[in-house]
Structure 1
Amino acid sequence: MAEEEVTREMQELKESVEAEARERGSSEKVSLTALVKTPTVRRALVAGVGLQVFQQLVGINTVMYYSPSIVQLAGFASNQTALALSLVTSGLNALGSIVSIYFIDRTGRRKLLVISLVGVIASLALLSAVFHQTTTHSPAVGSADTRHFDGSLTCPDYRTSSSGWDCTRCLKASSTECGFCASGAGSKLLPGACLLSNATVRDACHGEGRLWYTRGCPSRYGWLAMVGLALYIAFFSPGMGTVPWIVNSEIYPLRHRGVCGGVAATANWVSNLVVAQSFLTLTGAIGPAWTFLIFGCLSVAALAFVLVCVPETKGLPIEEVEKMLEKREVRLKFWAPRGRGSKNDGV
């Protein structure tokens, strides 16, 4: 029995090598339209391109590009502190990529993607909740604190109508850019001053030993936002950070792998551009809480996409992957009991 199994696998290996040699020897030009019309390649492109697009739509590069700004939105006033804390995300991203090397062939591609996305969804939900608390429970603007400074430094919008103002409303002043000088009475959560945002006012605020805020407001939940960011990176990096690239290297027929891989990479970078360019606009228009909630909803869509459209390619030759795509097999119960063969694992 063992001898027959070895003979069969040797024959499959021989056929695979011969097929690869034939594909490499082909000089036929590849048409993208023809690829899309081929069911097997089209389904592979849907899976590969979809993974690359969702990798960006869950918001990873907004965290990597704008982590200092996110830290300040969470209530950390110092630029130096924000920059230092943002380095944590880069370190966790590198560590997670190393972790994926260990787990990628032990858990399988889909399982790692699902675990990653579940963690990302939970982390984004936490971030959305924290930023909601930060913006809805920000310190009040005190008239006495504001009058403590020269009247010409008061935020014009606050001077016009000072009733019911808090830090969040101060930072969203429409007529001119304003900042919040936190209380100097021992707690940054006490009422502070709403002032014009410029270097002179900032220095005056710092001169009294106060903290100066222009992006986010003082909050007791700032550390919880950092936990959410750390969890987001820790879950994203080993799964959604690396697996889309691995799947794209395994899912396409040899003859079309270069073109299809290029299409998927282009989709990744275009999505990256859209998300990165829109992040600061979104946080300014609807606030960080709703922005992270949108990313959370997109992560739920990504999870559904992985369960329905992405095949498990762990340990499979390209011929087996093509057969799965031809049959259009979808199995939602992908977590096979230990001991079953990998060829039937989670497609």
Structure 2
Amino acid sequence: MAVAGAIVGAAFGGYMNDKMGRKKTILMADVVFTLGALVMAAAPVPWVIIIGRVFVGLGVGVASMTAPLYISEVSPAKIRGALVSTNGLLITGGQFLSYLVNLAFTKAPGTWRWMLGVAAIPAIVQFILMLSLPESPRWLYRQSKQEEAKVILSKIYRPEEVDDEMKAMHESVEAEKAEEGSIGQTLGQKLKGAWSNDVV
């Protein structure tokens, strides 16, 4: 059920990223994941565990597509690839660590509740740390908040590099918008043509 939740979360993650921003989307994913972990830990009957697993999956699905996007948009270009790769490394390391944590709880009373509930801790830590981080400057720029985007870029790049980054962002965003419009127009034309074709 966690996988099913992750599929749904990933599907809606893109929409949430565009409407709410990267930061708020990650914060919401942390809340949903934490809720799911606590529900599983406190579950009185098996079907409640299933509900908790769905919530955990939703959080994982949203975060798995949002976190790399956020990292790529707030990190300096020189180390962007390394930071995005580090995200994957930390995910794998976290999975290995979870096995060790579960092993440590095998002899504790109510073993399975601890195993499921402890998953909330990383999500809570990430939520707290995310509160001090800025929104994606690229998302802000797309929302016509250029000045806010420039302020954030000034904290990432040297003063003499900020204007060049703003120019590059402007060109990239405008190219994206033009491509999105072209794709939408082409798709609309194809659908219109399909509906207007005579069936033989």
Query: Could you state the TM-score of these two structures normalised by the residue count of structure 1?
Result: 0.38
Q: Is the 8 A contact 2:10 2:61 kept in 1?
A: yes
Separation of aligned partners in 1, 2:122 and 2:74: 24
Partner of 1:323: 154
Partner of 1:278: 100
Partner of 2:79: 256
Separation of aligned partners in 1, 2:127 and 2:10: 20
Q: Equivalent residues in 2 for 1:181-330 (5 A)? A: 221-238=45-62, 240-275=63-98, 277-278=99-100, 280-286=102-108, 287-308=111-132, 310-313=133-136, 314-316=139-141, 321-325=152-156
For residues 157-214 of structure 1, the C-alpha deviation after alignment (integer angstroms, 9 at most, x for no partner) is xxxxxxxxxxxxxxxxxxxxxxxxxxxxxxxxxxxxxxxxxxxxxxxxxxxxxxxxxx
Separation of aligned partners in 2, 1:259 and 1:293: 32
Q: Is the 8 A contact 1:282 1:291 kept in 2?
A: no
- 1:234 is displaced (CA, Å) by 2.1
Secondary structure at 2:80 match in 1 = helix
Q: Is the 8 A contact 1:120 1:299 kept in 2?
A: yes
Which amino acid is 2:2 matched to? Answer: T
Q: Equivalent residues in 2 for 1:98-247 (5 A)? A: 98-130=11-43, 133=44, 221-238=45-62, 240-247=63-70
- 1:124 is displaced (CA, Å) by 1.4
- 1:322 is displaced (CA, Å) by 2.9
- 1:116 is displaced (CA, Å) by 1.5
Q: Which has the larger radius of gyration?
A: 1
Secondary structure at 1:126 match in 2 = helix
Which amino acid is 2:76 matched to? Answer: P
Alpha-carbon distance change, 229 to 282 in structure 1, aligned in 2, over 3 angstroms: farther
For residues 310-343 of structure 1, the C-alpha deviation after alignment (integer angstroms, 9 at most, x for no partner) is 32102348865431447xxxxxxxxxxxxxxxxx
Q: Is the 8 A contact 2:22 2:66 kept in 1?
A: yes
How large is the RMSD of aligned CA atoms in angstroms? 2.6
Q: How many residues align?
A: 148
Which amino acid is 2:50 matched to? Answer: M
Q: Is the 8 A contact 1:253 1:322 kept in 2?
A: no
Q: Gaps spanning 5+ residues in structure 2: where?
A: 158-200
Separation of aligned partners in 2, 1:306 and 1:320: 18
Report percent identity of matched pairs. 13
Separation of aligned partners in 2, 1:241 and 1:259: 17
Q: Gaps spanning 5+ residues in structure 1: where?
A: 1-87, 134-220, 327-347
Alpha-carbon distance change, 280 to 294 in structure 1, aligned in 2, over 3 angstroms: closer
Higher relative contact order (CA 8 A, sep 6+): 1
- 1:293 is displaced (CA, Å) by 2.6
Separation of aligned partners in 2, 1:268 and 1:319: 31
Q: Is the 8 A contact 1:119 1:231 kept in 2?
A: yes
Separation of aligned partners in 1, 2:35 and 2:82: 36
Query: Could you state the TM-score of these two structures normalised by the residue count of structure 2?
Result: 0.63
Higher helix share: 2
